Amino acid sequence: MNDTVNLLGLDADGLARLCADWGQKPFRARQLMRWIHQRGEHDFAAMTDLAKDFRAILAQRASVSAPPVLADPASADGTRKWLLDVGGGNAVETVFIPEADRGTLCVSTQAGCAVNCLFCSTGKQGFARNLQAHEIVAQLWHANRALGGGDPALRARGERPVSNVVFMGMGEPLQNYAATLAALRIMLDDDAYGLSRRRVTVSTSGVVPMIDRLREDCPVALAVSLHAPDDALRDELVPINRKYPLAELMAACRRYLERAPRDFVTFEYVMLDGVNDSDRHAQRLVDLVRDVPCKFNLIPFNPFAGSGLRRSPAERVRQFAQRLAQAGIVTTTRRTRGDDIDAACGQLAGEVRDRTRLSERVARAPRALAGAGAEAR
């Protein structure tokens, strides 16, 4: 089976080209897409409206296969996490967060992460490899099946267990751009999952050139991991800022909004005690985003071993949020979900071989960071 093609990673154009190569008419691609993504089917023999000779070709040359599930813990609050084996000694994590009005799936795009944000346990492990498009889509395909999304009665009522997808799992999506773009196109396709562009969010640490490319290729909702109001502090918290400083990032956000499905950018801001949570930091944020339509999502830090960082007290977070709100910025504080199964923001670690020795460098960083935070206060 090593020479078979995994159909989970092919968008409509890719499936159409494959069908043409195998002597099939273009409409077969749409049939395949509906069987695979809407019904969650992986057995070609069960795809009864396909011609028998075509099903024989598919059985010989293609597959629909997701990474094996290594673990499937469920949280007391209903959050569910899947640990998926992507080979080479690496595993990635996918999290489903149920709410009254939506079901949100958080997908990973890389095994590990090279960005190395100091407050994120994924970055602490280093970077192994990019996921392929079929490995990204497989997370939604598997979750949809596991949650009953292939039920014809559910589809007939227009209901779906996963209504929103956020590219906020392990990895930096825009550093795996080709696979991320292919996955987005499949998720948005009406013959696949039919998700709205407003309900699919790509989160980035600030890869400016790729924000501009996403704007042109497939604009969806955009979230930016900000976490600091000035370059000096952000250089330490989010090292990619040294390459793409805040002035360039804010300009890219303004350009993106010209084509975005939403009229604002979401800025994510993890609250770190004594580091980035003072009133002075809040005022600097107000000044920074004054001409960028936005909302802020304040994230309580989720501690992990060796981080050397602490969560801001609840009252400090409340006061920080109040200062932003008083300046006219829509501000919410994220409710921690799934922390009892290590599925909360910043806790996704999977099992990644640290091939870049990042864990050693991260362990040394908090000592220098403490000084930067004290100076800002």
Residues known to be catalytic: 93, 345
- Closest alpha carbon to 177 in 138, 217, 140: 217
Handedness of CA 288, 294, 297, 303 (dihedral sign): negative
Q: Give CA separation, 293 vs 106, 158, 324, in Å.
A: 24, 33, 13
By DSSP bridging, strand 5-6 and strand 62-63 are parallel
Handedness of CA 245, 248, 254, 260 (dihedral sign): negative
Q: Reduced to 3 states, what is the DSSP secondary structure of residue 33?
A: helix
Of the CA atoms within 13 Å of residue 230, those in its CB half-sphere come to 14
Structure tokens at 63: 């597959």
- Do residues 234 and 284 make contact, with C-beta atoms less than 8 angstroms apart? no
Residue 29 CB partners (closer than 8 Å, separation 6+): 12, 15, 16, 18, 19
> Beta partners for 96?
80, 105
Residue 265 CB partners (closer than 8 Å, separation 6+): 222, 223, 224, 253, 256, 257, 292, 293, 294, 295
Cα end-to-end span (Å), the chain: 60
